[in-house]
Structure 1
């Protein structure tokens, strides 16, 4: 997953100062951003007033898009450091290639998890003969300092644990929820779960009061703690909750994202998550000079060039404006 903005702003993320220790309702709307040759995403994180939810630092929601006569997703090789990428689909297929030689096609409700660590490059594209629709989310998880230089690796988990209740089917993407744990590797306390609700369902989802949470609407219309959340929006909930009331006005799908508030301050620019402007500049130079990230084989097309760095120093600050 790449940030394809040609003039990306530096994002300052992390730190606990602006994390609400009490439950809140903060409705975030997505910014429409082009991705690749024909996909437009709704970017929910980073947002104007909210940079992170736990270690989750980047959330794009796209579709459902009719790609019958279109190439679908096509994101050329690009680099990452200091983060994990999560590919999550409700419709369609995405083929992942990376500079380690990994090759996998991720399908609906399968986990594609790439740990960039010290450095990796990858591409993503809809395969030839793809289905008619493309619908899903791409997310990043910031790695804490002690793990951000780990060796890069890729995991593909076609089968994930599920939690069921009347009117609810939940898939645990990352972390642990209601006694079920995802096989995906995590490096800080966090949760990602896909909640499918049938029309009229009313449930109370268990939460950890030490985590902060947000709920992204993928499809349908649902009330989250009494607030209507529709596709293209995400409700930030703060901390201090032990359960979350959910009501489905229609058949609905939600992403529940949470985690322990991320204490470290970060600099996030383009596809890099670091701790200083110097680190970001060094990663950009390595990508542009062809060192450090390896090569992605099998993608037919040129790799993405890095944008120019902004003229002002990149400095870490707080997690929200």
Structure 2
């Protein structure tokens, strides 16, 4: 389930990515850092896949989600999103797709066949709190994200508040996500001390508070009011939020609170009655991603090392 974990003398964590195939034999390989056995969440961020640069194409047929938001952030290459709500959007680099599953949603993500650009980007999930996880599904396409900057760096604010700016993307717990380009050595970022954070190295190794973090790895930061980053010419993704205290049972594309909810979601997806819970994504005929078999044990909540 998890990639390799490195602990330094202070007990801070570097989560190494593991490779995961996505979208079948014609799909792409992604590099996954969350969830990790020692760190299933950072704030409400509960899933992080980094992909590319790659000439392979994204070909993720209709599949379901419950209890989460998907955050799709391409850095190169265009992706067509379609869902059972009727959304049909060609997502461009620098734009955000944010889909809130609520109780149930289904969607597909397919590379634009007319775009030869090697693909790269990040796919993230956010766990929904009890107050929102059983509500209706929703989809937002946000093309006009705020630019942020400081001494020796600039960036794009994907979700939340940072450096005096606010993203209009809707989130349901205190959360931040910002892509940051480093221009000078020893860049200092001011942080919210009530948040925990992760720094994902997107295009090469960087130093985070003096520790080298390899390409595609994620450095976990347990609070604090600032972080020092060193890696001129490099780009990182800063993820953060208030520690998420609700228990999470995560299996395949579903997030729930207990095993029985997962079983019901799988059954509902595989049965797919007309007008059923997950609806239908137009444009794919009967093609979809079938759910895998459940394990022969009861699924248990993922446990954090500490809050």
TM-score, normalised to structure 1's length?
Answer: 0.88
Question: CA 1:320/1:306 → structure 2, altered by over 3 Å: closer, same or farther?
Answer: farther
CA contact (8 A) 2:14 2:217 kept: yes
1:107 shift after superposition: 1.4
Give the Cα separation in 2 of the matches to 1:300 and 1:196.
Answer: 42
| 1:217 matches 2:204 | no
**Correspondent of 1:243 among 198, 223, 226:** 226
CA contact (8 A) 1:87 1:138 kept: yes
The answer for the alignment partner of 1:54 in structure 2 is: 43
1:125 shift after superposition: 0.7
Per-residue CA deviation, residues 254-308 of structure 1 (Å, 9 max, x unaligned), is 0000000001111000000000100000000000000310000123671011011
CA contact (8 A) 1:50 1:320 kept: yes
SS in 2 for 1:62: strand
Question: CA 1:129/1:108 → structure 2, altered by over 3 Å: closer, same or farther?
Answer: same
Give the Cα separation in 1 of the matches to 2:189 and 2:116.
Answer: 33
Greater RCO, 1 or 2 (C-alpha within 8 Å, sep 6+): 1
Give the Cα separation in 1 of the matches to 2:103 and 2:283.
Answer: 23
Give the Cα separation in 1 of the matches to 2:123 and 2:302.
Answer: 25
Give the length in aligned residue pairs.
Answer: 294
The answer for the alignment partner of 1:27 in structure 2 is: 14
The answer for the alignment partner of 2:89 in structure 1 is: 104
Question: CA 1:48/1:315 → structure 2, altered by over 3 Å: closer, same or farther?
Answer: closer
CA contact (8 A) 1:265 1:319 kept: no
Give the Cα separation in 1 of the matches to 2:285 and 2:236.
Answer: 34
Give the Cα separation in 1 of the matches to 2:144 and 2:152.
Answer: 21
CA contact (8 A) 2:204 2:216 kept: no
The answer for the alignment partner of 2:240 in structure 1 is: 258
Give the Cα separation in 1 of the matches to 2:201 and 2:171.
Answer: 24
**Map 1:35-74 → 2, pairs under 5 A:** 35-36=22-23, 37-67=26-56, 72-74=57-59
The answer for the alignment partner of 1:270 in structure 2 is: 252
1:166 shift after superposition: 3.8
TM-score, normalised to structure 2's length?
Answer: 0.92
SS in 1 for 2:236: strand
CA contact (8 A) 1:214 1:236 kept: yes
CA contact (8 A) 1:286 1:292 kept: yes
| 1:167 matches 2:156 | no
* CA RMSD after TM alignment: 1.7
- Unpaired stretches in structure 2, ≥5 consecutive residues: 3-9
1:319 shift after superposition: 2.2
- Unpaired stretches in structure 1, ≥5 consecutive residues: 1-8, 12-22
The answer for the alignment partner of 2:176 in structure 1 is: 191
Q: Which moved more, 1:40-49 or 1:114-123?
A: 40-49
Give the Cα separation in 2 of the matches to 1:92 and 1:202.
Answer: 31
